[in-house]
């Protein structure tokens, strides 16, 4: 039974790593696209491939995984937790600023209406993307277990 659980944990961590690689590459590509729009204007054709970023992140992950006793770098977990908190706070602050400024779009429980500014295909794509975002967020629960292993004080007694 322990081997089966270990296999599932390995598969979940592998899937999370693939998700992080893709997310990091897409984020770096978005920064590059944003810089292009600022330089050339919003009408410019700023299209880039994320392949080079995925390869770069993958190579970085392989190199970092070669560090001996990497699991004993407890300060790294603290830095990662602080970065996640700051990142979430920035996102929350930007969302509140958009709503407070009056530039937020009104939606309903079912989202925006098809036909007004959104086609049916765009709405379906947005729904699947939201489901993917929620599934990706669930991968963080595995990391919480790993952090608790590093910091015995966080475990319940």
Question: 1-49 pLDDT, tens per residue?
Answer: 778 877 887 887 787 788 788 888 888 888 888 888 888 887 788 888 8
114 bridge partner residues: 118
Question: 67-101 pLDDT, tens per residue?
Answer: 888 777 777 777 877 888 898 899 899 888 888 88
> What does the alpha-carbon distance between residue 66 and residue 102 come to, in Å, rounded to a whole number?
49
């Amino acid at each position: 039974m322990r081997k089966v659980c270990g296999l599932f944990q390995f598969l979940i961590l592998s899937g999370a790593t693939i998700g992080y690689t893709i997310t990091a590459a897409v984020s770096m590509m978005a920064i590059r696209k944003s810089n292009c729009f600022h330089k050339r204007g919003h009408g410019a054709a700023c299209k880039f491939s994320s392949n080079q970023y995925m390869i770069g992140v993958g190579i970085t992950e392989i190199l970092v995984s070669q560090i001996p006793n990497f699991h004993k770098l407890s300060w790294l977990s603290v830095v990662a937790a602080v970065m996640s908190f700051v990142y979430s706070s920035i996102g929350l602050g930007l969302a509140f600023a958009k709503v407070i400024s009056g530039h937020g779009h009104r939606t309903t429980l079912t989202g925006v209406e098809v036909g007004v500014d959104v086609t049916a295909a765009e709405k379906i794509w947005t729904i699947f993307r939201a489901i993917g975002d929620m599934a990706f967020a669930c991968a963080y629960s595995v990391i919480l277990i790993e952090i608790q292993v590093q910091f015995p004080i966080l475990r319940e007694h």
